[in-house]
Structure 1
């Protein structure tokens, strides 16, 4: 028996209140019974709160799933789709709306509109082409109604934004989504902070600073009974929260392509300085894997900075859990650091492995000494270059804004239609402005962090505390934090697991390279990780790749 599908859509979920949905479902059931067909209740579709003007119901809603099912041949020809009206299917530009209707009809599916009882099939449109014109007129009217409403809403929102910036309006601006830990208290006329959800956000940021990845953060929050949104949160949502200006109280709105910043719109969960530091941390992590695997996180491997000194291949970590004695920590010898050259089909002149414990121990101890840590991190001051780059960006931004202003003024004096080439030029200039603005903000954060002074005694003390907890006690959180500190401090760690001299003296040589370009070398005992007096190199190493 041929299936009948029903599709309901409300751009505002509040429209579903009442008997409209029930009336449409009854019409669909009655139509199916009158034509000897069966209404498929399992695949009857509802898109509540999804806009047809912005195509949300196609991008993320049930109609999009139905259209994909048609394209994949899972909806058989002869099936029937019942909608209240063609404007329920789409309010997009008429050419796009017509294409969606054509996709359904040309697949052999009949479209029935409950509002006027009309039926659209490929055969009916061939014999009665005026129905095609009629459908197009309905779509044109629906799009114009939505476009007019959108312009009115945008104009009202812009007035509210301007009122907020001028200090004459202090109500809520209903556009986009507000943070889930806030709600508008109409009686008090201000935002109210949900203390439980706000605590979850603070804990989430704490775990992020610790070095955990998004999946582990979500898992930890669930274990602790916390949720920033009050429900299940996808891991990707964490990065959106961390990047949000709402954390320090500002709100950024984009209306009609123009960005507006409302300072102090929300209650702040942190200061601007703290937020800038968080953004700097996020930028340092960008493009570097922070995935933590297993019960004993690797501190040196997995982030792309540890390399074999003999062939330049990445180093891999291996934990031999099966050899661990019951009730004991995994012995140092069963935590290995391996050259991946063989796996990557690279001929390493000194293949093999060593225990990772002495390497971890040596690096953590080295950074626990305040003098040595200062020497590492103060090595190259890049603030001068950053200031020069920032000045250059600001100058080019000002020049570009003058170009935009001139083009805009010229268009305002011309009564005719704006030339497409000029509009494209303005869009290109605006895109360049946005890129420069993002880079300027990054440099400003870096300079602010540098001016604040990131080197303190507490930093060396943290390395010392982690050396004990992470390396000796195998504490999970301590190892994750140590992994994060190593990855943000060093751009490269090159390990010569058989040393740099011949014959083998039982030493490991390590070359440390910080993100500021400082290099330091360590010679350590292969078993204990204790520093040795560095021996004059008898055989210079081959330059490692990467």
Structure 2
């Protein structure tokens, strides 16, 4: 039986696809009653009400067409190759996997696009021409292939207004931050501050406990501990995190140790956005000069320099096992510093148990690729090197050499800054990704990396030479390490003490070459050469035993070792061996 005459025909059944988009994740309610910010829930309620009024529509549940935190102004939701869900929908339509006559339900057209009018209108027409019915719920407009042409003219007005609103919002936001940066001397730029500070009226003050944690982090980094090891120590001590994280990790430590805000400096930045693989990506670009004393400093320049020296060496790959896990003990103070004098390969630390002698051996000798099969007794060598280490005075380095290093450092910094300015000019002129600019930028990037490696090494040498008068902090650090070793203290305490001494050695020793005749030659950063063998240190033409006079103990050796020592010592005295 047909419908009564005079009544409109019921629309045919169809599938409806719901597209929900928010430009910011902050528009999603966290369930705390802030409904006025819940744009996501509002879109759902409007959609459900429309479906209830149109029972011929069945909501599709295969596709989750939700773009949360995705911009329609920058076209991130429709970019080719991107992850935008509207891009997925368009692809499915054009591939014929979504049937003609299906509905696309949106709150309004500005959810689909806020791009320039030619882009936005083309997107709407592409959907309609492929048989999709687009329903803008809030303004009660339906767009399909048989719509009145005037309706599409009206859609141009809607889409232009959406683009103009986004354009104006972006311009006003930029102007606001320009004004804030211009008035930074009169008013703090933002209330968002580093986690170790607190707001104090119109200024900031250090958070007492967190300031001490920052000092601890920098001190441990300067002593040679990796960022992961520092994080493990904080977790082991039950130190609560400063944010939402449940535990400390190396990435958090790196953020703290890489910012000069700990020295009180502030560098204004602006966000520069680009689309990469269809995703809107923001990059912080410096926007003004560094402002000293903007924050209260929580560490001093000396601690910063010592920590950066270690961090830069790890970053540039000049520290052996940079960033690598060391375990819970540091057995070898010369790890990767000691090398074979014949082949230049590392000397391996070998400990085969309490009844064996701990030795350093060439890492390639077992494979037969190096003829240096000498076994350097480790413990005796450690004693001898530490005896020298607490007495060596590097502060007498030639003044001309210091001036040469300082001039070299200034030249390298000027060259690096010039290259970086050249790269910025290229990117502004051609744009990122330009096929003409990219090769030049890659070349500059490689040169800057090489220069920065040299800057790090030269800075470390200068800093160590300036600090190296007398025994500096070396003697108490070595005494503590030996006391903890003899007392068989917990691994964590011994680890911290030994890694600190190891870092001091790395800062001071340029090379440590193990010769086939059993001699160990060390070159210090001031260019001086020092020789060791079997627990003895060659100083002013005489071989001096280590240990008893300085550390208050001596090691027992076997008769075989004693006889070997006596033989070469007698030969050395007879030959008046000279270093």
TM-score by length of 1: 0.65
Task: Name 2:221's counterpart in structure 1.
Answer: 208
Q: d(CA) in 2 for partners of 1:444 and 1:200? A: 30
Relative distance call for 1:224 and 1:494 in structure 2 (3 A) is same
SS in 1 for 2:293: coil
- Give the unaligned 5+ runs of structure 2: 1-14, 271-284, 537-555, 574-579
Larger radius of gyration: 2
1:344-396: CA deviations, max 9, x gaps? x671224586664333333223212x2xx215984796421233235546887
Relative distance call for 1:388 and 1:516 in structure 2 (3 A) is same
Task: Name 1:476's counterpart in structure 2.
Answer: 495
- Give the unaligned 5+ runs of structure 1: 324-330, 408-417, 502-507, 538-546
Q: d(CA) in 2 for partners of 1:257 and 1:200? A: 28
Q: Would you say the 8 A contact 2:359–2:378 is kept in 1? A: yes
Q: Would you say the 8 A contact 1:365–1:464 is kept in 2? A: no
Q: d(CA) in 1 for partners of 2:263 and 2:512? A: 36
Q: Does 1:339 pair with 2:362? A: yes
Task: Name 1:225's counterpart in structure 2.
Answer: 238
Q: Would you say the 8 A contact 1:365–1:467 is kept in 2? A: no
Relative distance call for 1:248 and 1:395 in structure 2 (3 A) is closer
SS in 1 for 2:211: helix
Q: Would you say the 8 A contact 2:309–2:459 is kept in 1? A: yes
Q: d(CA) in 2 for partners of 1:360 and 1:58? A: 65
SS in 2 for 1:261: coil
Q: CA RMSD in A?
A: 5.9
SS in 2 for 1:364: helix
- The match for 2:187 among 170, 177, 185 is 170
Task: Name 2:479's counterpart in structure 1.
Answer: 465
What pairs with 1:62-211 in structure 2 (closer than 5 Å)?
64=83, 78=98, 84=107, 145-165=165-185, 169-173=186-190, 178-185=193-200, 188-211=201-224
Q: Does 1:239 pair with 2:254? A: yes
1:233-254: CA deviations, max 9, x gaps? 4412322221212101110113
Q: Would you say the 8 A contact 1:523–1:533 is kept in 2? A: no
Q: d(CA) in 2 for partners of 1:309 and 1:420? A: 51
Relative distance call for 1:14 and 1:3 in structure 2 (3 A) is closer
Q: d(CA) in 1 for partners of 2:331 and 2:126? A: 52
Q: d(CA) in 2 for partners of 1:11 and 1:275? A: 37
Q: d(CA) in 2 for partners of 1:126 and 1:514? A: 86
Q: Does 1:383 pair with 2:406? A: no
- How many residues are treated as equivalent by the alignment? 479
Task: Name 1:280's counterpart in structure 2.
Answer: 309
- The match for 1:512 among 522, 530, 534 is 522
1:396-453: CA deviations, max 9, x gaps? 799999999xx9xxxxxxxxxx9869x999x98xx99x96998999799669847964
Q: Does 1:292 pair with 2:325? A: yes
Task: Name 2:551's counterpart in structure 1.
Answer: none
Relative distance call for 1:243 and 1:354 in structure 2 (3 A) is same
Q: d(CA) in 2 for partners of 1:314 and 1:441? A: 25
Q: Would you say the 8 A contact 2:28–2:41 is kept in 1? A: no
Q: d(CA) in 2 for partners of 1:116 and 1:248? A: 55
Relative distance call for 1:298 and 1:313 in structure 2 (3 A) is same
Q: What's the offset of the Cα at 1:269?
A: 0.4
SS in 2 for 1:251: coil
Q: d(CA) in 1 for partners of 2:242 and 2:199? A: 16
Q: Does 1:267 pair with 2:296? A: yes
Task: Name 1:248's counterpart in structure 2.
Answer: 263
Relative distance call for 1:448 and 1:54 in structure 2 (3 A) is farther
Q: Which moved more, 1:466-475 or 1:232-241?
A: 466-475
- The match for 1:25 among 44, 64, 76 is 44
Q: Does 1:312 pair with 2:344? A: yes
SS in 1 for 2:519: strand
Q: Does 1:486 pair with 2:505? A: yes
Q: Would you say the 8 A contact 2:477–2:497 is kept in 1? A: no
TM-score by length of 2: 0.62
Q: Would you say the 8 A contact 1:3–1:40 is kept in 2? A: no
Q: Does 1:359 pair with 2:375? A: no
Q: What's the offset of the Cα at 1:23?
A: 2.1
Q: d(CA) in 2 for partners of 1:53 and 1:456? A: 64
Q: d(CA) in 2 for partners of 1:356 and 1:114? A: 80
1:480-534: CA deviations, max 9, x gaps? 21222222222332234xxx33xxxxxx422223344443221125986999859
Q: What's the offset of the Cα at 1:155?
A: 3.0
Q: Would you say the 8 A contact 1:248–1:269 is kept in 2? A: yes
